[in-house]
Amino acid sequence: MNQAYIALGSNIEPRLEYLQLAIQRLKEHRSIQIKKVSGIYETAPVGFTDQNDFLNMAARIETTLSPPLELLDTCQEIEHSLGRKREIKWGGPRTIDLDILLYNQENIETERLTLPHPSMHERAFVLMPLMDINHHLYLSHIEKDVSTLISEMSLKEKEGVVQCNKIDGGKRIKAYRKLKGYTQIGFAKELGMSVSQLGDIERGKRVPTLETLEKISEQLDISIQELEPKK
């Protein structure tokens, strides 16, 4: 089984739903297993700045797709299915973007794919989600791990990547939970988490993963857009 890390991003509404759908498409692929996903971060656009802010996240997967170009084909098929258009060559608006960052720490350079991703170590909006998944993740091509790279970044770079604040969303979760007649204990059990974890989400102290948001959306029978993160 091959291990890979994928960065996901969207800046066309509904941004959160596009991330959700992309994760779901990866889950549904018979040759891919999602092992862990990061929190969600809001990021100002880089390069072409006349566009909306992005929501960014990352996922660690295991896959039998080999060589890596097969995984690239799958990612691009998902992008196409979710309406991705490449009207601006670099950095334009997109419904969804799936970038392969690492594949078994292999070094690959082709016309279509370069691995490790050549600029991943320079982008806070890539490194901070990766930190959620594995802060000891070692990037052999630059001989540093993710936590070291983030510590070396300027405060300005890191401040431009904001972990989505779920205070408002947490209040809505609590209100909908009560409306549906769930106690906090009962709802936590349905979600497969502790009461204290659910309490932290409802108070805005914990940012739920995308999987948790999906479970909440399903249990409360509300659109995931209701939980759209805000700065």
Active-site annotation, residues = 84, 94, 97, 99
Q: Cα 44 to the chain's mean position, in Å?
A: 15
Nearest one of 100, 131, 133, 98 to 118, comparing CA atoms: 100
Nearest one of 35, 43, 37 to 10, comparing CA atoms: 43
Task: Please name the residues in contact with 205: beta carbons below 8 A apart, sequence gap of 6 or more.
Answer: none
Question: What's the length of the chain?
Answer: 231
Helices (H), 29-180: 68-81, 124-133, 146-152, 155-159, 167-179
